[in-house]
């Protein structure tokens, strides 16, 4: 059992609950992380029922995952609010939290929380995802919370519009705004860059000749970027992908360099598309922020600058701070007397 005295300063249990993992955070009065835990209980890999038993309730497996991650916190402080974002609110999650249409705001998300009753336990509140209907439909679930955390970082988000890049399996580029105390999301774009890279490397002939490099090969990555935006750009992405194999067969690209070259091609095409949507030149180009895994953000910063964008700011991981901001707006938590401390962001 947890020591109640050591938990008494807890104001929110925040959950980042995705497809492959569950991260639980215990937050204090300023939104600071007092404790955190990680479990492999993503929505597609939940803990099984005890041997010989069957689940009587549809959410039983989710409850087991929650108890494993932070059940001692909840038992010691039964009145502490619990707020989650991510795929736990999808149709395959604990309870579907319907999408909100864009544009939307922090207050809209706070008003749109879905509540999951847990018997005698503290209810679980789930942040809704976002749906963009104009043109080809687009969705996000979890990233909206991360963007709100970026907007709360005063070292990153000045007044006005901001383009927030969230590189990963499904890279998101989010046009967000901060106007006084009002924060919101206008529109966004999705690129399946990371998933396509993994599929090509793991399930096509390209992977047969690749060797894992001892360290990131920035020269091969830059070569891929150059192909994506060079004189052969008219050939298109599918032709450029195949050059990973042909350059290897002709001896021009070592096996250990091929993965980074392919990464450069895919990210290069993503950023070239972004440049058409948000031209980097002009009187007032929109400020750029990257938020995600450190080395991936480093690669994207290289690609952005190769395509004419100014160096982006690299923000700290922001999901927890986004959950704190939503909890305050929803009345689940109250801000402390002092402003919330943030890790300082760095220019790329």
pLDDT for 28 equals 95
Tell me, rounded to whole angstroms, the distance of Cα 340 from its chain centroid.
21
Contact present, 177 and 186 (Cβ < 8 Å): yes
DSSP string, 60-83: HHHHHHHHHHHHHHHHH-TTS-EE
Cis amide prior to 196 (ω within 30 degrees): no
Out of 3.30.420.300, 3.30.56.10, 3.30.1300.10, 3.40.1010.10, which CATH number does the structure's domain 4-128+318-337 have?
3.30.420.300
Nearest-angstrom CA–CA distance, 305 and 168: 19
Architecture of domain 193-315: 2-Layer Sandwich (3.30)
* Other C-beta atoms lying within 10 Å of the C-beta of residue 330: 19
| Residue 132: C-alpha distances to residues 78, 84, 129, 135, 286 (Å) | 37, 22, 10, 8, 21
Q: Can you list the residues of the chain whose pLDDT is less than 50?
A: 1, 337-348
Nearest-angstrom CA–CA distance, 267 and 277: 15
The total number of residues written for the chain in this structure:
348
Q: Which residues pair with 85 in a beta bridge?
A: 16
DSSP 179: E
Contact present, 336 and 179 (Cβ < 8 Å): no
Give the list of residues 6+ apart from residue 340 with CB closer than 8 angstroms, or none.
Answer: 30, 31, 32, 152, 321, 324
Q: Where in the chain is the domain with CATH 3.30.420.310?
A: 193-315
pLDDT for 58 equals 77
Contact present, 131 and 100 (Cβ < 8 Å): yes
248-277, pLDDT tens digit by residue?
999 999 999 999 999 999 999 999 999 999
Contact present, 327 and 26 (Cβ < 8 Å): no
Sort strands 171-179 and 160-166 into parallel, antiparallel or unpaired. Answer: antiparallel
Q: Where in the chain is the domain with CATH 3.30.420.300?
A: 4-128+318-337
| Residue 76: C-alpha distances to residues 1, 2, 52, 81, 218 (Å) | 8, 6, 30, 13, 50
Contact present, 304 and 264 (Cβ < 8 Å): no
User: In what side-by-side order are the strands of the sheet with 182-191?
Assistant: 104-105, 182-191, 171-179, 160-166, 288-291, 313-315, 346-347
pLDDT for 347 equals 44
Sort strands 182-191 and 171-179 into parallel, antiparallel or unpaired. Answer: antiparallel
Contact present, 257 and 245 (Cβ < 8 Å): no
What beta strand segments (E) does the chain contain?
A: 12-17, 22-27, 33-39, 82-85, 100-101, 104-105, 114-118, 121-126, 130-132, 138-140, 160-166, 171-179, 182-191, 288-291, 313-315, 346-347
């Amino acid at each position: 059992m947890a020591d109640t005295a050591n938990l008494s300063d807890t104001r929110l249990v925040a959950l980042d609950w995705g497809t492959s993992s569950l991260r639980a955070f215990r937050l204090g009065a300023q939104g600071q992380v007092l404790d955190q835990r990680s479990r492999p209980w993503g929505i597609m890999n939940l803990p099984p029922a005890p041997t010989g038993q069957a689940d009587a309730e549809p959410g039983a497996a989710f409850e087991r995952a929650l108890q494993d991650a932070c059940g001692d916190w909840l038992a010691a402080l039964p009145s502490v609010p619990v707020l989650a974002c991510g795929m736990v609110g999808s149709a395959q999650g604990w309870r579907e939290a319907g999408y909100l249409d864009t544009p939307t705001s922090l207050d809209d998300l706070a008003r749109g929380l879905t509540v999951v009753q847990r018997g005698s336990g503290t209810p679980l509140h789930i942040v809704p995802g976002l749906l963009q209907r104009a043109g080809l439909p687009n969705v996000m679930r979890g990233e909206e919370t991360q963007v709100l955390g970026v907007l709360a970082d005063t070292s990153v988000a000045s007044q006005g519009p901001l383009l927030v890049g969230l590189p990963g399996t499904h890279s998101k580029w989010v046009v967000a705004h901060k106007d006084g105390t009002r924060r919101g999301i206008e529109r966004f774009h999705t690129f399946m860059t990371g998933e396509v890279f993994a599929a090509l490397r793991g399930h096509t002939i390209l992977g047969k000749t690749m060797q894992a490099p001892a360290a990131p090969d920035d020269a091969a990555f830059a070569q891929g970027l150059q192909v994506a935006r060079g004189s052969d750009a008219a050939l298109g992405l599918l032709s450029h992908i195949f050059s990973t194999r042909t350059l290897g067969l002709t001896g021009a690209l070592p096996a250990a360099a091929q993965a980074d070259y392919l990464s450069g091609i895919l990210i290069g095409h993503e950023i070239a598309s972004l440049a058409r949507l948000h031209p980097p030149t002009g009187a007032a180009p929109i400020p750029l922020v990257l938020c995600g895994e450190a080395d991936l953000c480093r690669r994207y910063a290289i690609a952005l600058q190769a395509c004419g964008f100014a160096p982006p700011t690299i923000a700290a991981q922001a999901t927890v701070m986004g959950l704190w901001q939503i909890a305050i707006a929803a009345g689940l938590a109250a801000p402390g007397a002092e402003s919330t401390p943030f890790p300082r962001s760095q220019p790329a």
